[in-house]
Structure 1
Amino acid sequence: MPRVLQRADGRWAWVVLLASLVAQGLTASFPTCIGVFFTELQRDFQASNSETSWFPSILGAMLNAGGPLCSILVGRFGCRVTMMLGGLLSSLGMVAGSFSRTLTQLYLTAGFVTGLGMSFCFQSSITVLGLYFVRRRPLANALASIGISVGTTTWPLLARYLLEGLGWRGAFLVFGGVFLHSCVCGAMVRPVATSEALEPRDPPPVPKPGARGCLATCGSALQHHLACDVLWHNGGYCVYTVGVMVMMLGFSLPHIFLVPYATRHGMEDYRAAMLISIVGFCNIFLRPLGGLLVGRESLADYRKYLFCLAILLNGLTNLVCTVSAEFRVLVGYCLVYSLSMCCCGILLFQVLMDIVPMDRFPSALGLFSVLCGVTSLISLPLAGFVLDSTDNFSYVFYMSCFFLVTSALFMGSGFYALEKRKRKGKQDNANGDTSGMIPVPGLILEDRSKKQPCTETMYVTSV
C-alpha cells in the first residue's frame, strides 16, 4: 500500500506541531529536574559533587551528541521511526537505571541510553517542524518550544512528589513509563511531501566493487552526514557553532545547581523545587509572544543579534545568585532569568535554520549538536570540581556568567565582521573591483577592451 504524503503548511502540520510540543516537553526539559535528585544520589552512592555531576552531564551530552546518528536514521527511516525508537530507548534506560547499584551503571543506563533516546526523539521533532512548516516556521518553533516550558514547570514538582513517596529508584521507574508517550508522538508524524519528495529521482549509481570504492563511499557518506561542506563553506555556521559550544559550558549550570544551592542555605525542599517551576511557568506565556515577535520578516536579519543579547542577559542575571539566597531574591532572579531563557530557547534552532539551507539542516543540526554535546559533557563535572574545591556555590554562578558573556560577545562580533566583509565584497563587485574575487578555473575572463555580444564569465566571491 503506498504511503500517504502530507503537504507542508497543511492541516496535519498542526497535529505534528502538537506531537513535537509533547515530545520536546518529555525530552529536552527532563534534565532540569535532575537537581531534585542530586543530594539523594550523592548520599546513596557516597559520591562527591564532581562524581555525581557526571550523571546529568552524560545525560545532557547525549541529548546533543546523538545528532549525527539521528541524522542518519532520519535520512534512512524518517522522523516517525526515529522518534518512536527514541521513546523506547529513553524508557529502557530509565527502567534499567532504577536498578543501578553503582554510579557507573547509572551513567550507562539513565545517562547514556536515556540521553541517546532523548536525542533521537528531540532532534527528530525539530527536523519535522522544518519540513512541515515553511511560511510559519518561526511561529511553529516557538509554539513547539512551549513543551519545554511546560516540562520545566512540571518535571521538578513531579520529581519532588515521586522522590518523597517512592524514592529516586521508584521515580526513575515511573519516568520510564512516561517516556513511552514519545512513541505516541512519533506515530502522529506522517511523511511530508516536500519539493524534493515530489520530484522524480534518477536511480542511484551502482558503486564500483573493491575496497577502495567501498572506503570512498563510506567517506563520502560520513562527510555528508557530518555536514563537512557546511562547516568549510559557511562562515556564519562556524561562528554560531563555536559560540553555542562556549555557551553550553555555562547555560545548564543554574538548572542543576539552583536547587542544591537553595537547600544548602536552609530553604525548604518544595520551595527550592518551585524555583525551577517558576522559570518554566513564565516561559509558557513568554514563548508564544516571543515567537510572534521574532517571526516577523522585518526582524529576520536581526535574529542572531537578538540571540546574542539574550545570552548576554542570561549570563549577567546569574550574578544575582551570588548576592543572596533568600526566597524572594531567587524568585526575582527566576523571573528575569525566564525572560532571557525564553529568547534563547526560541532562537537557538531558528537562527540555525536561517544560517543553513533546509536541505542540509538535519546534517548541520547533527554536527552542531555533537560539538555542543562535547562542551556540555565537561560543563557539569567542571562545576562540580569547582564546588568541591571551594565549597561555595557562588563560584559556580560566576563560572556560568563568564562563559555566557564570552559566548555572546564572540558571536555578536563574529556575525558583525562577516556581514561587514560581505557588504564590502558586494560594494567592490558593484564598483568593478575583482581583486577580492576568485575566478573559476576553466572559464575565460572577460576582456573589457573588446566588446563582445556574449561572454562566458563567472566569479565566485571569497566571502
Structure 2
Amino acid sequence: MASEKRSFSIDDSMTESTRLLIEKQDEGKGRIYKHRRRKATRARKLVVMVAGLVQQFVSVGLGFGLSIMYVELIAVFNAKRSDAALIQGLYLGLSVGTGIVLTGVIKKVGPGPTIIVGAIVAAIGLFTSSFAQNLPTVIALTGVVSGLGMSTCYLSAFISVSWMFHEDPGFPLVCLTIGSSLGQFAIPFLYEYFISEYTWSGAFMLVSGIALQCVPFGVIIYTSREYFVTSDHGSHERKEIPTCEGYMTLLKDFVLWILLFDFLLIALSGNVEAWFIVDIMTSRGYSRESGSILVSALGFANFIGRVSGSTLRFKCTNIPTVYHWLWICPVIALGHTLVINLRGYWAIFAAIILQGAAFGMNNSQTPAIMFEASGLSKYPQAMSLVNLVYGIGNLFSNVIGGFIRDSFGVYDIAYYIAAGASLYITFNSAIVSCIIHRRKRHQVQYSSLE
C-alpha cells in the first residue's frame, strides 16, 4: 500500500546529491530511510584534525597576543591596568566560555557553518578596533565582538574532532590542544612586529586577517559532515541526547563538580605569566621586546608540554588521565613561585619554560578527562561546561591581576595565589582519583557477578 512505511538503506557509494534527490522524491510517502554514515579515510580524518588545530591556533593565539597589546594600550590611552586587562579578559572569557549557549546551535547547524560566521564576526571586531578613539571602544570591539565570534571556532573544533574520531577520541582531543600552544608561541611575535612597524591601530587591521584564516578550514569541516557520528549508539543514526537533558545528567555527578571547580581554578590562576609577564619585565627595566620573547617562550614550552601530555595519553591508555595531575600540579606551583621571585632574565626564562611545559601538559589532558567523565553523546555539553568555567576564570583572572597591580604596585600576590591554587588542585585530583578507583573496583565486582 502507498501509505505503508518501508525502510530502505541507501548505499554508501551514492553521492550526497543523489541521496537528497531520492529523499525529496519520496517526501510525503511515509517512507523511513536509514542510511549509514560514510566511513572516513585516514586522509579525511587528517584534514579535519588540521582544521581543528587551526581553530585552536587562531582563537587562542589571538587572545594570548593581546598581552603585548595590553602594555601598548596602557601607554596610548593612559589607562589603568585593571581597565586595559578587560580587553584580553573579555576576549578569552567569551571566546572560551560562551560555548554553553552555542552548543545546541553548533549541533543543529553543524560546526562548519558556525566557524565560518564566527571567524568573519571576529575579524570585523578586530578590524574596526583600529579606528577606536578610546579604550572602552577597544574593549567592546575586540573583547566582546571578536570574543563572541571566536567562541564558535573554539568549541566547534572539539566537537568536530570528537565526531570524526568517535571510536576513541581521547588521544586526538589531547592532540587538538597543541594548536592553542602553537598559537600562543607564534602569534605574539606577529603582534610585536605589527605594533613596531604599523603602531597599535595597524596591528589590529593585520591581526583581523589572521582571524579570517579560520574560514577556509571551516569549509573543510563543513564538507566532512557526512562522516560525523554523534552518539554512543552502535547504529550510526543521529540519535542525540537533548542538550538540556545532557546537562542535567552531567550535573548529577559529584565528580564532575569537583573537576569543574578545578578547571575554574586553573583558568583563574594558571595564566598569570601569559597575562602579565610583559608588564612585569617592563616595570623591572627590560624592554617590551624582551617580555614578548618570554611570552613566545611560554608558548613554546606550552607546546612541548602538550606534546608530552599527548604522549602520556597515548602510552598510558589504561590509566585515568586525572592521575597525572597528582604530580603535574605541584610542578606548576613551583614554576609560579620561581617566576615572581627570580630577577635575572635567563633565570626567569628557565622558570617560564618549566611552568609553561607543566601547564601545557595539564591543559592538554582536560578534553580527555571530560570525555572519560561524560562519554560521546554528552561530550559537547561537558566540553561547553568546561569552556564556561574557563571563560569565567580567564575574565576574572585578568581583572583581579590588574587590580592587584594597581593596588599594591606589584603582581606578587597574584602569583602566590596561583601557586596555592595549583596545590589545592593536587588535593582535589587525589580525591577524584580515589573515587574513580572505587568505581572501577565496583564495576569489576558487578561484572563478575553477572
2:229 alignment counterpart: 194
**Partner Cα distance (2:238, 2:67) in 1:** 50
4+ residue segments displaced more than 6 Å: 427-432
1:370 alignment counterpart: 388
- Under a length normalisation based on structure 1, what TM-score does the superposition of the two structures give? 0.82
2:78 alignment counterpart: 46
Instruction: Please state whether the residue corresponding to 2:319 is helix, strand or coil.
Output: helix
Show the 5 A alignment for 1:154-233.
Answer: 154-189=186-221, 190-191=224-225, 192-194=227-229, 196=231, 199=236, 223-224=244-245, 227-232=247-252
**Partner Cα distance (1:222, 1:140) in 2:** 24
Over 3 Å counting, the alpha-carbon distance change for 1:429 and 1:11 in structure 2 is: closer
Over 3 Å counting, the alpha-carbon distance change for 1:129 and 1:55 in structure 2 is: same
Over 3 Å counting, the alpha-carbon distance change for 1:415 and 1:285 in structure 2 is: closer
**Partner Cα distance (1:256, 1:66) in 2:** 21
Is the Cα–Cα contact under 8 Å of residues 118 and 153 in structure 2 kept in the other structure? Answer: yes
Is the Cα–Cα contact under 8 Å of residues 33 and 256 in structure 1 kept in the other structure? Answer: no
Over 3 Å counting, the alpha-carbon distance change for 1:426 and 1:276 in structure 2 is: same
Post-superposition CA distance 1:46-98 (Å, at most 9, x none): 22111111111111110222112331121111111111122112111111222
What stretches of structure 1 of length at least 5 have no aligned partner? 205-219, 433-457, 459-463
| Pair 1:99 & 2:121 matched | no
Is the Cα–Cα contact under 8 Å of residues 308 and 408 in structure 1 kept in the other structure? Answer: yes
Over 3 Å counting, the alpha-carbon distance change for 1:163 and 1:129 in structure 2 is: same
Shift of 1:144: 2.8
Shift of 1:293: 2.5
**Partner Cα distance (1:336, 1:374) in 2:** 26
**Partner Cα distance (1:111, 1:133) in 2:** 33
User: Aligned match of 2:417 in 396, 399, 402?
Assistant: 399
**Partner Cα distance (1:256, 1:138) in 2:** 29
1:287 alignment counterpart: 306
Over 3 Å counting, the alpha-carbon distance change for 1:312 and 1:73 in structure 2 is: farther
Is the Cα–Cα contact under 8 Å of residues 22 and 147 in structure 1 kept in the other structure? Answer: yes
Is the Cα–Cα contact under 8 Å of residues 185 and 296 in structure 2 kept in the other structure? Answer: yes
Over 3 Å counting, the alpha-carbon distance change for 1:7 and 1:49 in structure 2 is: same
Shift of 1:184: 0.9
| Pair 1:251 & 2:270 matched | yes
| Aligned-partner residue type, residue 289 of structure 2 | Y
Shift of 1:431: 11
**Partner Cα distance (2:80, 2:88) in 1:** 14
**Partner Cα distance (2:446, 2:109) in 1:** 45
Over 3 Å counting, the alpha-carbon distance change for 1:99 and 1:80 in structure 2 is: same
**Partner Cα distance (2:122, 2:238) in 1:** 36
| Aligned-partner residue type, residue 51 of structure 1 | D
1:342 alignment counterpart: 360
**Partner Cα distance (2:364, 2:113) in 1:** 26
1:129 alignment counterpart: 161
**Partner Cα distance (2:228, 2:447) in 1:** 40
Shift of 1:421: 4.8
1:277 alignment counterpart: 296
Instruction: Please state whether the residue corresponding to 1:358 is helix, strand or coil.
Output: coil
Show the 5 A alignment for 1:53-68.
Answer: 53-68=85-100
1:212 alignment counterpart: none
| Aligned-partner residue type, residue 422 of structure 1 | R
1:436 alignment counterpart: none
Over 3 Å counting, the alpha-carbon distance change for 1:275 and 1:228 in structure 2 is: same
**Partner Cα distance (2:304, 2:280) in 1:** 27
**Partner Cα distance (2:375, 2:136) in 1:** 41
1:437 alignment counterpart: none
Instruction: Please state whether the residue corresponding to 2:78 is helix, strand or coil.
Output: coil
1:262 alignment counterpart: 281
User: Aligned match of 1:416 in 420, 426, 433?
Assistant: 433
**Partner Cα distance (2:238, 2:417) in 1:** 52
**Partner Cα distance (1:349, 1:293) in 2:** 14
User: Aligned match of 1:304 in 313, 316, 322?
Assistant: 322
**Partner Cα distance (1:20, 1:175) in 2:** 19
Over 3 Å counting, the alpha-carbon distance change for 1:165 and 1:101 in structure 2 is: same
Shift of 1:391: 0.3
| Aligned-partner residue type, residue 336 of structure 2 | N
**Partner Cα distance (2:387, 2:344) in 1:** 36
Post-superposition CA distance 1:247-275 (Å, at most 9, x none): 21101221010111111111222222111
Over 3 Å counting, the alpha-carbon distance change for 1:368 and 1:281 in structure 2 is: closer
Post-superposition CA distance 1:114-154 (Å, at most 9, x none): 11122110110111111111456344234333322221111
Report % sequence identity. Answer: 18
**Partner Cα distance (2:291, 2:60) in 1:** 21
**Partner Cα distance (1:365, 1:278) in 2:** 28
Over 3 Å counting, the alpha-carbon distance change for 1:221 and 1:164 in structure 2 is: same
| Pair 1:153 & 2:185 matched | yes
**Partner Cα distance (2:37, 2:299) in 1:** 35
| Aligned-partner residue type, residue 36 of structure 1 | I
User: Aligned match of 1:89 in 86, 106, 121?
Assistant: 121
Over 3 Å counting, the alpha-carbon distance change for 1:324 and 1:16 in structure 2 is: same
Instruction: Please state whether the residue corresponding to 1:295 is helix, strand or coil.
Output: helix
| Aligned-partner residue type, residue 246 of structure 1 | L
Instruction: Please state whether the residue corresponding to 1:194 is helix, strand or coil.
Output: coil
Is the Cα–Cα contact under 8 Å of residues 305 and 358 in structure 2 kept in the other structure? Answer: no
Is the Cα–Cα contact under 8 Å of residues 138 and 291 in structure 1 kept in the other structure? Answer: no
**Partner Cα distance (1:141, 1:429) in 2:** 31
Is the Cα–Cα contact under 8 Å of residues 7 and 194 in structure 1 kept in the other structure? Answer: no
User: Aligned match of 2:372 in 348, 351, 354?
Assistant: 354
